[in-house]
């Protein structure tokens, strides 16, 4: 399930791409399949090892073009272990809401992005996220949980203050918002709830089969209740 729209954020073969805060690697895998030299970075060692294993399996299965590289790295988003201007594109998906120093995170991302490079930033959308917080303290008051909710204009201001130029936005994952509202209503750890189990089956079916009906429904509902807000920006080229 991808949050970044690669028609708006094109990745070309040979691009150097960083998936910053990669989690379980969904965007990193998509970049690798597109022929990018991909680095997936996360602070969670278990996630990094799992992503490295999947990279190896994809390489073995021939799922990436020959000569393409993919590496999983454990690291700190506030002190990236890369030189300046190391990457052509950076994805920062569903991580900024977890980090106290979100300005520092963006500053590091801008540092390692080359002039003229592109960045995609995704965060939980303000409205659907507010519902989750209102329904359940356990949803966000956990170690490593969400510590803030962004309005769209607030995130875009952060991006501009970091020296980037936004060029597009959209919303994603409308079908997932009601699922999380249900989980928050019955208890985020209560997976035995019949409505939650039924809705989860629907989401799995949608992800695996991608039927026209649910794809059309999500397209219509994304502007209304899309769970994620996605912003795209470029780093200005140096003048000289």
What local confidence, expressed as pLDDT, does residue 143 receive?
84
Q: Give the pTM.
A: 0.96
List the pLDDT tens digit at each of the 240 positions of the chain.
Answer: 899 999 999 999 999 999 999 999 999 999 999 999 999 999 999 999 999 999 999 999 999 999 999 999 999 999 999 999 999 999 999 999 999 999 999 999 999 999 999 999 999 999 999 999 999 999 998 888 899 999 999 999 999 999 999 999 999 999 999 999 999 999 999 989 999 999 999 999 999 999 999 999 999 999 999 999 999 999 999 765
90 pairs with which residues across the strands? Answer: 18, 119
- Alpha carbons 197 and 183: distance in angstroms, whole number: 10
- Alpha carbons 110 and 114: distance in angstroms, whole number: 8
94 close to 120: Cβ distance less than 8 angstroms: no
Tokens 């454990």 -> residue: 74
Q: What top-level class would CATH report for the domain 76-234?
A: alpha beta
The ranges assigned to domains in the chain are 76-234
Rg (CA), the chain: 18
How many Å is the maximal CA-CA distance in the chain? 62
């Amino acid at each position: 399930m991808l949050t970044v729209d690669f028609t708006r954020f094109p990745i070309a073969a040979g691009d150097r791409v960083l998936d910053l805060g990669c989690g379980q690697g969904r965007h990193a895998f998509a970049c690798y399949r597109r022929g990018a030299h991909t680095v997936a970075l996360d602070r969670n060692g278990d996630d990094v090892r799992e992503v490295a294993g999947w990279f190896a399996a994809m390489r073995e299965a021939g799922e990436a073009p020959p000569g393409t590289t993919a590496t999983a790295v454990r690291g700190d988003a506030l002190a990236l272990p890369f030189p300046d201007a190391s990457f052509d594109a950076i994805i920062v998906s569903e991580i900024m809401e977890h980090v106290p120093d979100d300005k520092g995170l963006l500053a590091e991302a801008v540092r390692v992005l080359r002039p003229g490079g592109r960045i995609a930033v995704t965060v939980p959308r303000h409205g659907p996220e507010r519902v989750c917080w209102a329904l359940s303290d356990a949803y966000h008051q956990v170690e490593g949980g969400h510590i803030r909710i962004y309005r769209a204009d607030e995130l875009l201001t952060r991006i501009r203050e970091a020296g980037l130029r936004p060029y597009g936005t959209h919303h994603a994952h409308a079908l997932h918002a009601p699922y999380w509202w249900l989980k928050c209503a019955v208890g985020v750890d209560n997976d035995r709830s019949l409505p939650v189990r039924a809705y989860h089956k629907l989401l799995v079916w949608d992800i695996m089969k991608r039927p026209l009906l649910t794809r059309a429904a999500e397209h219509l509902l994304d502007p209304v209740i899309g769970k994620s807000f996605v912003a795209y920006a470029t780093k200005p080229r140096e003048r000289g």
